[in-house]
Chains A and B, each alone.
Chain A
């Protein structure tokens, strides 16, 4: 039985649609007011910044794209007196010289070898950096053992299997930049771990040696280490033994990066609670086993962002080898831009712009990776 209630005409049966919030507290207008014009000072800053952007951004875009020259055979394509218009970036020059920027003077018919080297290295890097990749232990062996040997055979040559020798003097450009940084990371990581372990060792002499090496290297500029490798290394070796001109700065860079890597790794080692060490010891593990199975896997995982940041620094620092006469990207740009065939004022900027874009995207990609790892680690900490 239902009790009939009389319909009251003033009671709503359906709820009214919610009104949109007033435009002054939500929506784009409110956002603009809150973030750009919330007060007189804020407004002044906004106007000033807008003026600054207006002053700086359109000329840059115009230079890089709208009035850039994309095709041409020589410098006359990029000069105002011959084209009769304002000339932006001379990309024709970069396109013309892109092989020089990539490989230096590496013989043109052998360029597949550096290309294959890039591929071999890229596989190794992806395997190492992708945290969910299968068989990462195998990946480490591939990266630290297989890649160096394979790369050496590919780039320098291995006559026994038909790869002719290519002297390092003709290597250049991005190839050398990548070789120097790859050697830097492959050597500095294990050496840095050893130095860090040595610095935290209980043996006084080992600790002293490691502290001296690390602090000395971190106290001097890289360029002095490179000069030292260049001038003093040949002195210290017995007569008759010569070190390749490319290998000398490689040793310097690797040595320098190892000291910085050691400090990063030490940070990770210090963050591991003492209980982990004690637990490992109570299981009867020896020092190498304790480090290899218990401590280092945890410590290195924490410091992945630090390692990547060190590597970004190393990657930027490889430009310094150009000062001691190695043809890395910077040096090839420098030597290409003074080429009389391409003499045009715009060529100066274009070469630097190309190098800047290359370095920016490499470093930016690495720092993006390190930030994503950091977020991931933070998430796993929270649980």
Chain B
């Protein structure tokens, strides 16, 4: 009996075997990359030796010898190292990014909702803002704010008084600085207690609403606890023995403003530029998110008797957030990365301090560029990690 079992498939030539091909192409790729890396490293070593540039990360411990005008840690040209300069630059970048993200979110949500407003003129103004700002390069906007707006402000002698104690001049924004004495820690503790208690109250209120349907004014209670407790602590401390918080208000002298704390014009221009630019992109993200919630949801909410405010808060926003959060994350990351444009207007951020001054002084391009890029990569990864966590929490739970 003739059988067709056990008949081996016809042997094709090896070059037609996909697995062999796969190995071949990947081998070529690995060889190519290896060769490029080898060439780059040997050339770099050779060039560095020729230019007498040291290598390795030892330079981080050497004295920096240059000044930075905005610092959050002890820093001085004489006593600090390049490593300290790196930390100063990083903190400045994080500060701009954090304040910029908060402001951009507020602007973006306001403009995004305004663009969907029934009020024609408000919607048109919001559209104009989004269209104009999105179509202009950020660098141009930063230069405009810094060179054309802030540098034409009056000198410190004729500073504009925005509000009592707030002066705007070509040297930046001067504002009262709070000076705390030792007992002020109690206010901080009161603030912490306020947050913890209000979270507990919210949990209880939610459980009660789920069980009985009775609502509890959570928002007002939380506000009262978080703001009220510190104010109460401050009042008690003041009554018991003098105020624990004094304000150092800037004084307008003949030539200068003294006292208070100061926001440098570079900082103001950068935060303003980043927030306005990113705000326009966030507005589009928010608008798309709200439009993605179908109209039936609004109608169903109305037919249940929810007020427009409640519809927005309990029905539209929670669903829109699912659409909004992923692109919002990338906008936050863009803002953080765009803060590196600080170098154009001289704000001492990571790139300006480290890739600019430190790179020029040490010449150690490879190490400096590698560290800077690594820092940005870490910031990106950490931000997306937290946003992904938040996204998972609000994502649609399916069976």
Contact = CB atoms under 8 A, between A and B. Distances in A.
Interface of A: 35-36, 38, 42, 45-46, 49-50, 52-53, 202-206, 209, 216, 219-224, 227-228, 231-232, 234-239, 312, 316-317, 319-320, 322-323, 330, 334, 345, 348-349, 352, 355-356, 359-360, 363-364, 367
Contacts of B25: 203, 206
20 contacts: A42-B119, A46-B122, A206-B25, A206-B29, A209-B29, A220-B377, A222-B337, A224-B369, A224-B376, A227-B351, A232-B365, A235-B44, A236-B40, A239-B47, A316-B136, A334-B143, A345-B152, A356-B136, A360-B136, A363-B134
Contacts of B132: 360
B291 to A, nearest CB: 15
B44 A220 contact: no
A232 B40 CA distance: 10
B366 A235 contact: yes
Contacts of A205: 26, 29-30
A219 B380 contact: yes
Interface stretch (B178-186, B196-204, B227-235, B338-346): B338-346
B261 interface: no
Interface in B334-386: 337-338, 340-341, 343-344, 351, 355, 359, 365-366, 369, 372-373, 376-377, 380-381
Interface of B: 22, 25-26, 29-30, 33, 39-40, 43-44, 46-48, 50, 117-122, 125, 131-132, 134-140, 143-144, 147-148, 152, 337-338, 340-341, 343-344, 351, 355, 359, 365-366, 369, 372-373, 376-377, 380-381
Contact of A53 (B125, B143, B341): B125
A49 B135 contact: no
B343 A231 contact: no
A36 B373 contact: no
Given A223-B343, A359-B136, A352 B144 contact: yes
Contact of A42 (B50, B118, B341): B118
A49 B252 CA distance: 35
Contact of A352 (B50, B131, B140, B337): B140
Given A50-B121, A220-B376, A239-B46, A349 B135 contact: no
Given A228-B369, A236-B44, A323-B343, 6 more contacts: A45-B121, A236-B40, A238-B43, A349-B148, A352-B144, A359-B137
Contacts of A237: 43
A360 B25 CA distance: 45
Contact of B148 (A49, A203, A209, A348): A348
A228 B373 contact: yes
